C-alpha cells in the first residue's frame, strides 16, 4: 500500500480471542487455538490434548461465536512500527450452530 507516494506496511497480530458457547459460558484466550485436523491429529476423547475446548453440561442446540481482537501497527520506513490504535481492534464475530448430543457432568468443589 502507498500513502502520498510512501510505501506503508501494516502488521496485524492477534491480541486475544473471545469465545461465547451459547450455554451462558464464555472464555478469552491469547489465540483462537489450532484448527481440528481429523486426518493427522484426530481426537477420540472428551478432552482433546492440543486443542482448545469447552465441556457442555446439557444437550441441545447451541451457537458458538468467536470474536478476534487485533493489535495493528504500521510502518513507513519498514523499521519503526507505530500503533494504529493503542486499544485492540475487534473484528466481526464468526458463529456456528452445533447440536450437543452428549454432555458431561463436572464435579466442582463446594464453595461453602
pTM over 0.85: no
pLDDT tens-place string over residues 81-104: 999 998 999 989 999 999 998 877
Q: E strands within 1-112?
A: 2-3, 6-7, 9-20, 26-29, 60-75, 82-83, 89-90, 94-100
CA nearest to 23, candidates 67, 46, 57, 72: 57
pLDDT tens-place string over residues 49-68: 888 888 888 899 999 999 99
Q: Are 33 and 52 in contact (CB under 8 A)?
A: yes
pLDDT at position 72:
93
pLDDT at position 111:
78
Read off the pLDDT of each residue in 9-38 and give the average, rounded to a whole number. Answer: 92
**33 is written with which cell numbers?**
487455538
% of the chain at pLDDT higher than 90: 49
Higher pLDDT, 54 or 1: 54
Amino acid at each position: 500500500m502507498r500513502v502520498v507516494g510512501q510505501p506503508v506496511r501494516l502488521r496485524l497480530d492477534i491480541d486475544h480471542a473471545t469465545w461465547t458457547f451459547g450455554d451462558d459460558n464464555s472464555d478469552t484466550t491469547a489465540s483462537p487455538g489450532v484448527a481440528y485436523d481429523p486426518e493427522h491429529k484426530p481426537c477420540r476423547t472428551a478432552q482433546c490434548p492440543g486443542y482448545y475446548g469447552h465441556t457442555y453440561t446439557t444437550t441441545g442446540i447451541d451457537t458458538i461465536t468467536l470474536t478476534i481482537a487485533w493489535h495493528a501497527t504500521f510502518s513507513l520506513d519498514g523499521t519503526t512500527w507505530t500503533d494504529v490504535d493503542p486499544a485492540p481492534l475487534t473484528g466481526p464475530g464468526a458463529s456456528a450452530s452445533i447440536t450437543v448430543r452428549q454432555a458431561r457432568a463436572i464435579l466442582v468443589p463446594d464453595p461453602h
